[in-house]
Amino acid sequence: MKSFNLSDKGVYTQTKNWKTADWIHVENPSSEDVDNLAAIFGIPRDYIMDSLDEYEVPRQEKVKNSAGVDINLLIVLFPKMRSVQEKYTEYHTYPLSIITINKTLITVCKETPSFLKRIMKNESFKNEPATTQHHIILYILWELTKSFVHHLREIDSTIEDLQIQITSATHNEYFYKLIALHKSLVYFETSITKNHPLITESIHKATLSDDAQSQELLHDILDISNQAEVMVTESSKMIDQLSEVFSSVISNNLNNIMKVLTSITIVLTIPTIIAGFWGMNVDLPFENHPWAFGITSLITVFICIITVYWLKKKDYF
């Protein structure tokens, strides 16, 4: 558990007194952390524990604690890269709980994303530092949405690399990469589609101040969210088309390989047939000639060359 106080200049300073902190961040909360938060703030336990469920869906809730104080919950999904079998990179999405009660902001997740760490280190200010609780929430949403765009650009770069490698694709590793990318885009599409209306609705419903910084952040969040929606749709279409092309190219490459192997088999069969004829116990042309073996070999080589030329002309080699 980490706790921060926010100065008038928008600088986060870590404090040990989490009970009076402006921002409390809990990573992979233990049962003791859950009990403490529930006891001090009256937060429902599921508000905290739901952030540990990888399959939790974005949602917004509002309840009153025993003291009659409003507790607002906003669960959004953020992306995170992970490796599969140390070869293939895929992306998953995880829930982030944003809880507000009075002037206290509480964020809970299973593993702290890099953009939250940047905010904690005062390295994530877009134009001006956050000076209110609402500004912190907007910065979190802005960085979260921006991380989707960043990872989508990485996926587009990977797709372009696969397009270059597609001409020689005959191995299963390309399919594994496609599967990882397709799986990532499914997570992204679901998360962005669910996050976008929820973020928009929650921001509009919140009684934000009408200061210019909030309005600018709100506008940027909506723009980036729209951009992420367009990018994930385009990437999904690209990966679907690439999968079809991959299947066709691999099938065509295998057909070419089989065509070459069949041609080689035909050429190698010629010496076997000629040797079989000349190995029979019957009278054969120039069988008593001193250069019979050499003549037979030259004839065999000549027929093989003619066959190779014909097959090459027919595009079998």
In a shared domain, residues 145 and 52: yes
Indicate which CATH number applies to the domain containing 209.
3.30.460.20
In a shared domain, residues 142 and 66: yes
How many other C-beta atoms are found inside a 10 Å radius of the C-beta of residue 7? 12
C-alpha 280/C-alpha 17 separation (Å) is 101
pTM of the model: 0.74
Query: Per the structure, how many domains does the chain have?
Result: 2
- Identify the burial level of 43 via C-beta atoms within 10 angstroms of its C-beta, where 0-12 means exposed, 13-18 middle and 19 or more buried: buried
Write the pLDDT tens digit of every residue in 6-58: 777 667 778 888 888 888 899 998 888 888 888 888 888 888 888 888 888 88
What is the extent of the structural domain holding 295?
254-313
In a shared domain, residues 245 and 260: no
In a shared domain, residues 177 and 210: yes
In a shared domain, residues 187 and 260: no
In a shared domain, residues 68 and 170: yes
Length in residues, the chain: 317
In whole angstroms, what separates CA 219 from the centre of its chain? 26
From 252, 276, 298, the end of a domain falls on 252
- Mean pLDDT taken over the chain: 81
From 200, 218, 252, the end of a domain falls on 252
Q: Of all residues in the chain, what percent carry a pLDDT higher than 70?
A: 86
Does the CA dihedral 303-313-248-173 come out positive or negative?
A: positive
C-alpha 91/C-alpha 109 separation (Å) is 17
Q: Enumerate residues 6+ apart whose C-beta is below 8 A from 128.
A: 10, 213
Half-sphere exposure of 127 (CA within 13 A, CB side): 9
At 306 the pLDDT is: 92
In a shared domain, residues 156 and 29: yes
From 233, 252, 271, the end of a domain falls on 252
At 84 the pLDDT is: 60
C-alpha 230/C-alpha 233 separation (Å) is 5
pLDDT tens for the chain, 317 residues long, are: 888 887 776 677 788 888 888 888 999 988 888 888 888 888 888 888 888 888 888 888 888 887 788 888 889 999 988 766 556 778 889 999 999 888 888 999 998 988 888 888 877 655 566 667 777 888 888 889 889 999 889 888 888 887 777 666 556 677 778 888 888 888 888 888 888 887 777 666 554 455 666 677 777 788 888 888 888 888 888 888 877 777 777 788 788 888 888 889 989 898 888 888 777 776 767 667 778 778 888 888 999 999 888 888 887 76
Question: Position of tokens 């989508």?
Answer: 152
Indicate which CATH number applies to the domain containing 262.
1.20.58
Cα-based distances in Å from 288 to 66, 279, 285, 295, 298: 115, 13, 8, 12, 17
In a shared domain, residues 43 and 146: yes
Least Cα distance to 37 among 10, 73, 86, 11 occurs for 73
Least Cα distance to 92 among 81, 84, 108, 103 occurs for 81
Q: Enumerate residues 6+ apart whose C-beta is below 8 A from 30.
A: none
In a shared domain, residues 245 and 265: no
If DSSP codes are grouped into helix, strand and coil, which group holds residue 37?
helix
In a shared domain, residues 154 and 99: yes
In a shared domain, residues 17 and 69: yes
In a shared domain, residues 277 and 211: no
Alpha helices in the chain (DSSP H): 31-41, 45-49, 114-120, 133-165, 172-205, 212-278, 292-313
